[in-house]
Structure 1
Amino acid sequence: MRGRAPSGPETGDNRPRPGLRSTVLVACLAFFVITLDTTVVNVALPSIGQQWGGQVSALQWVVTAYTLLFAALLLSAGAISDRVGASRAFTIGLSVFTLMSALCGLAPNLTVLIAARAVQGAGAAVMMPASLALVRQAYDSPAQRARGIALWTAGGGAAVAAGPVVGGALTTGLGWRWIFFVNLPVGLFALVGMLRAPRSPRGHSSMDPVGQVTAVLALAALVFAVITGGSGGWTSPTTICGFLVAVLAGSAFLLVESRQSDPAVPLTLFRIPSVAVCTSAGLALNFGYYGLVFVFTIFFQEHRGASALTAGLMFIPMTAFTTLVNLLAGKLTNRYGPRLPLILGQVIQTVGILGLLLVRRDTPTALLLTLLVPLGIGGGLAIPPLTSAMLESVPHERAGLASGVLSAARQFGGAIGVALLGALIADSAHFMTGMRISLVVGAAVLVATTLGVALFLPGSPKPAAPSTPVPGTEEPATVSLRPDGLESR
C-alpha cells in the first residue's frame, strides 16, 4: 500500500516551510539519539556493575533489553505509524523514550534499569519509522526528499561513531547516569518542536498482534537462554526451559504468519534466496560488530585498567574508518553491483576478527587499535551493498517490507551477539579464553554468510541502493510502504 504526503508542504524553492523545517530537524535529531543509545551504554557498563555488583550476565541485559525490543517491535512499527499517523506515532514514541531515559538515570537497581531500557527500546522502535515518514512528508521534490533522507541517515552514522566517546566522557566526567539524562533536553526540545509539526494523515494498515507477541516472546526467550547459559550453565533447567520457550514461541510465530492474510513478516519472502542470504548477512554483521564491541569494552576497562573515557576513545579509529569506507562502498556498489563489495566487506571483517586473536592483556595500544580497524572497515563496506541487494531482490511494492525485515534482523543480530559473545566471557577467571572463543564464533558466522552470498546472490550491473550508514543505523526505506509518506524508493 503506497501513498503520498498531503500536497503543498514546500515553498517555491523546494525547501519545506518553517514548521516543516523544524520537523525535519527534530526527526533527524531523534534518530541520532535512538541510534546513540545502542552504543553509548557499552563503555558505562563496568561502572554500572561496580555500583551494584552486577555480573556480566546482568550487564548484558542493559544492552540487549533495548536492542531486543527495538528489533522485535520494528515488525509492527510501520503499521502503527500508518494507523495513528506519523506525527502522532513519533510523539508517542518520543514521549516514552524520554520518560524511560529519565527512569534509567534514576534507577535504584539493575532490575529497574533493565526494565526501563526495554520500554525505552519499544519507544525507539515506534519513533524510527515515524521519524523517516516525517522527513519524507516534508518534501514533494524527489531530489530534496533524497537530501532530507541523507541528512536523516547521516545522523545515525554520526551516532554510531560518537556513542563510545560520548558514553566514556559522560561516565568519567559526570557518572554513568548522565548517559541517560543527556536524552532529556533532547527529548523535550523535540517534543516542543513537534508542536509546530502538521498532523500526518491516518492510514488503514492492518496489524498482526499475535505474530508480534510470539516474535517478541521467541526472541526474548532465546536471548534469555543464551545469557543464562553463560552464567548458570548450558544444561541448567533454567537455560533449557528458555530454549524450549524460544522453540515453541518461534514455531507459533511461523504457524501464525503462514496463516495470516496480511502477516507482519510474509514467510514467502524468504523463498527468494537472495532475501534469505541478505537477511542472514545483516544479522551476522551486527552479531560480530556489537558483540565484539561489548567484549572489548569489558576487556579495555576490567583487564587493561582503562577509564571509561579512554575505552571510548579507543574505538575512534574503528568507527572513523567505518564512516569513511561507507562513502566508498556506495561508489563501489554503483559501479560493480552489490555482490562484490558485500563479499569483500564480510571477508575484511572476518580477517579483522581473526587478527584480534593475537591480542593479549599487554598488547601495545597502537597495535590493538590497528587490529580493531578492519572490523570497522568491513562493516562500513558491507552495509550499503547489503541494503541495495535486499531491495533489488524484491518487487518494488515490497521494498519497504524487505527493508524493515532487514532492519529488524540487524538489530536482533546485535542483541544476540551481545548475549552469546558476552556469555562466553562471563567467567572472569577465564576471560581471555572466552574472548578468543567469541572471536572464533564471530568469524565462523561471517564465513557462513559470506559463502551464502557468494553462492546465492547474483551479480547485478544496475544497483538500486540508498547509501546506508554504519552497522547499527537503519536503512532509508525502513518499514515503509505507508500512506503517511514512507513509500519505498
Structure 2
Amino acid sequence: MYISLSTRRQSSRLALLATSLGFVLICLDVTVVNVALARIRASLAIGSTELEWVVNAYTLAFASLLLTAGSLADRFGARLIFVCGFAVFTGASIGCGLSADATVLVTSRGLQGVGAALCVPSSLALLGAAFPDAHARAKAVSIWAGTAALALGAGPLVGGVLVERFGWSSIFLINVPIGIVGIWLTLAHAPDTVRHEARCIDLAGQLLAVVALSVLTYAVVESGRRGWTSAPVMTGLVAAVVAAAAFVVIEGRRVQPLLPLALFRNAVLNVCSITGLTLNFGYYGLMFAMSLFFQNACHYTPLETGIAFLPMTAVVTVANVVSGRLTARFGYRLPLVVGQSLAALGYALLAFLRADSSALAIALPLLAVGTGVALAVPSINTAVLAHVDSASIGIASGVLNTARQVGGVVGVGVFGSLVRPESSDVASGLHVAVMLAFTMTLLSLLTVRLGVAKRASSVDAGAS
C-alpha cells in the first residue's frame, strides 16, 4: 500500500510526540515528588527513612534495569518494550496516587522506575526508526532531549502548583491520561525496529546488579536511623561489595555480558562515569534535602518550595545550550571544568545557609549548582561519544547513565541520613551534606584534569 510522503512525515512527528511524552513523564517524576515530601509525610504519617525510599525506589529500579532494558528492546523490538514500559509506568502512577500507606507508595514508585527503565533506551531506538535521515534524526533527538530538560526544570514548580491545588496524589494521577495518549500514539504511528533474536539476556548479571544496588541503597538509607556501625547497615554494605565482586567475576566469563568489562579500559569513560555519579550525588541529594529545609525549617508551602527551586532548575535548558556551544568551540573539557567549579562554589555557599537567610542568599548558591551541573552533563556525554568505539556507544551510554542514577540514589540516601525532618536543627545536617558534595566535586575535578586533560580538543567535540 502506497503511503504518501506527507503521511510518513506526520507519523514521524507523532512518533516523536509519543516518545517525548514518555521521556517528559519520566524526567518530571525525578524532581516533581520532592516538593510533595512534607505533605506525603504528614498524610501517611511516615518518617524520613520512608521518605527517602519514596524517592529512591524509583531511581533504584531505573538505574538497575537500564542496561537490560536496552537488550530487551534489541531482542523484542523497541515499540513493544516502549509500550510495555509506558503501560507499567502509567499503572504504577495510579498505585502511587491511590496509596494509603508507605508500603504501597514505595512499591508503586519502584514499579514506576521499572517502566521508566523500559522506556528510555527503546524511545531512542524508536526515534532512529522513525527518522532514518541523519539530519532529521539529529533534530528529533534534540527536541526529545530538550523536552526532558524542560521537564526536569519545571518539575518542582509544576509539583508545587499541583500539590497546593489538588493534593499530593495529583502529581502521580496526572500521568495517567498522558500515558494513555502516549501509548495510543506509539501503537498508531511509531514504526517497529529490527529484532535481534540472537541477543541473549544476562539474567545472572542483572540479578546481581539489582542485589548490589538494592543492598547498598538500603544501607545508606538506613544509616540515618540506625547509624553507620549498626549490624543491618554494615551487613548491607558487605553484601553490596560481595554482590558487586560476584557481578565482576560473572561478567568476565560471559560471551554476551550485561556489561562488557573491557569498556573500563577506556580512561575517558571511567572519568565521565565518576563525574556523572558525583554530579547526580550532589544535585539529587540537594533537591531532597532543600525540600525538607524549605518546608520544615523555613515553613514554605509546596508552591513556595517550587518557586524557591527555580534558580536551580530553570537554568537547565539555557545552560545545556551554552554548554553545547562552548563544547563546539573550545572542546568538552572547558564546560566540564567550569560547570563543576560552579557547582562546588554553590555547595560551599550553602554551608552558610540558615532558616532566616535572605532570598538572595538562598537563590545564588542554588543558581550556581544548577548552572554548573547543567553545563557539565552535556560535556560528559560528548566526551564519551568522542572516545568510545561506535559499536560500543550504546552500552557505554548505558554505563554512564547507570553511574549517574546510582549517584542520585546514594546522594538522596546520604543527604537524607544527615538532614532529618524530625530534627530541631535541619540546617546543621544540611551544612555537613553540602560540604560532602563540595569535597566530592573537587575530587571529581581532579580526575578530569588527570583523565581528559589531553583528550578534549574542539575537533573531537565538533565531530560528536
TM-score range (shorter-chain normalised) is over 0.9
Determine if the alignment matches structure 1 residue 417 to structure 2 residue 416: no
Q: How does 1:395-434 map to 2 (within 5 A)?
A: 395-426=389-420, 428-434=423-429
Select between 229-238 and 211-220 the one with higher mean Cα deviation.
229-238
Secondary structure in 1 aligned to 2:424?
Answer: helix
1:379 matched to which residue of 2?
373
Once residues 460 and 58 of structure 2 are traced to their aligned partners in structure 1, the CA distance between those partners, rounded to angstroms, is: 31
What's the CA shift for 1:70? 0.3
Q: How does 1:76-115 map to 2 (within 5 A)?
A: 76-115=68-107
Determine if the alignment matches structure 1 residue 460 to structure 2 residue 460: no
What's the CA shift for 1:44? 0.3
Determine if the alignment matches structure 1 residue 313 to structure 2 residue 307: yes
Determine if the alignment matches structure 1 residue 168 to structure 2 residue 160: yes
Taking structure 1 as reference, are residues 174 and 257 closer, same or farther at Cα in structure 2, changes over 3 Å only? same
C-alpha contact (below 8 Å) 1:9/1:16 kept by paired residues: no
Secondary structure in 2 aligned to 1:136?
Answer: helix
What's the CA shift for 1:227? 0.8
C-alpha contact (below 8 Å) 1:357/1:439 kept by paired residues: yes
Once residues 218 and 9 of structure 1 are traced to their aligned partners in structure 2, the CA distance between those partners, rounded to angstroms, is: 52
1:225 matched to which residue of 2?
219
1:448 matched to which residue of 2?
443
What's the CA shift for 1:10? 9.0
Once residues 280 and 224 of structure 1 are traced to their aligned partners in structure 2, the CA distance between those partners, rounded to angstroms, is: 21
Q: Name the one with the larger helix percent.
A: 2
Aligned AA for 2:193? Answer: S
1:267 matched to which residue of 2?
261
Indicate which of 35, 50, 53 corresponds to 2:27: 35
Aligned AA for 1:104? Answer: C
Secondary structure in 1 aligned to 2:214?
Answer: helix
C-alpha contact (below 8 Å) 1:9/1:138 kept by paired residues: no
Determine if the alignment matches structure 1 residue 329 to structure 2 residue 319: no
Once residues 352 and 432 of structure 1 are traced to their aligned partners in structure 2, the CA distance between those partners, rounded to angstroms, is: 16
What's the CA shift for 1:461? 2.2
Aligned AA for 2:252? Answer: S
Once residues 185 and 368 of structure 1 are traced to their aligned partners in structure 2, the CA distance between those partners, rounded to angstroms, is: 36
Taking structure 1 as reference, are residues 125 and 463 closer, same or farther at Cα in structure 2, changes over 3 Å only? farther
Secondary structure in 2 aligned to 1:26?
Answer: helix
Secondary structure in 1 aligned to 2:46?
Answer: coil
1:69 matched to which residue of 2?
61
Aligned AA for 1:120? Answer: Q
Indicate which of 221, 230, 239 corresponds to 2:233: 239
Once residues 234 and 155 of structure 2 are traced to their aligned partners in structure 1, the CA distance between those partners, rounded to angstroms, is: 35
1:200-219 deviation digits (Å, cap 9, x = unpaired): 33223221111111011101
1:282 matched to which residue of 2?
276
Aligned AA for 1:360? Answer: R
Once residues 155 and 463 of structure 1 are traced to their aligned partners in structure 2, the CA distance between those partners, rounded to angstroms, is: 28
C-alpha contact (below 8 Å) 1:338/1:459 kept by paired residues: no
Aligned AA for 1:200? Answer: T
2:288 matched to which residue of 1?
294
Taking structure 1 as reference, are residues 424 and 140 closer, same or farther at Cα in structure 2, changes over 3 Å only? same
C-alpha contact (below 8 Å) 2:18/2:186 kept by paired residues: yes
Once residues 459 and 427 of structure 2 are traced to their aligned partners in structure 1, the CA distance between those partners, rounded to angstroms, is: 42
For structure 1, the 5+ residue unaligned runs are 1-7, 468-488
What's the CA shift for 1:12? 4.5
User: RMSD over aligned Cα, in angstroms?
Assistant: 1.8
Determine if the alignment matches structure 1 residue 136 to structure 2 residue 128: yes
Taking structure 1 as reference, are residues 279 and 18 closer, same or farther at Cα in structure 2, changes over 3 Å only? same
Instruction: Figure out how many residues of one structure are paired with residues of the other and give that number.
Output: 460
Select between 312-321 and 356-365 the one with higher mean Cα deviation.
312-321
Aligned AA for 1:203? Answer: H
1:482 matched to which residue of 2?
none
Secondary structure in 2 aligned to 1:37?
Answer: helix
What's the CA shift for 1:11? 5.9
Higher relative contact order (CA 8 A, sep 6+): 1
Once residues 97 and 200 of structure 1 are traced to their aligned partners in structure 2, the CA distance between those partners, rounded to angstroms, is: 22
Secondary structure in 1 aligned to 2:329?
Answer: helix
Taking structure 1 as reference, are residues 227 and 20 closer, same or farther at Cα in structure 2, changes over 3 Å only? same
Taking structure 1 as reference, are residues 158 and 112 closer, same or farther at Cα in structure 2, changes over 3 Å only? same
Determine if the alignment matches structure 1 residue 180 to structure 2 residue 172: yes
Query: When the two structures are superposed, what TM-score results if normalisation uses the length of structure 2?
Result: 0.96
Once residues 110 and 277 of structure 1 are traced to their aligned partners in structure 2, the CA distance between those partners, rounded to angstroms, is: 38
Indicate which of 137, 144, 147 corresponds to 2:139: 147
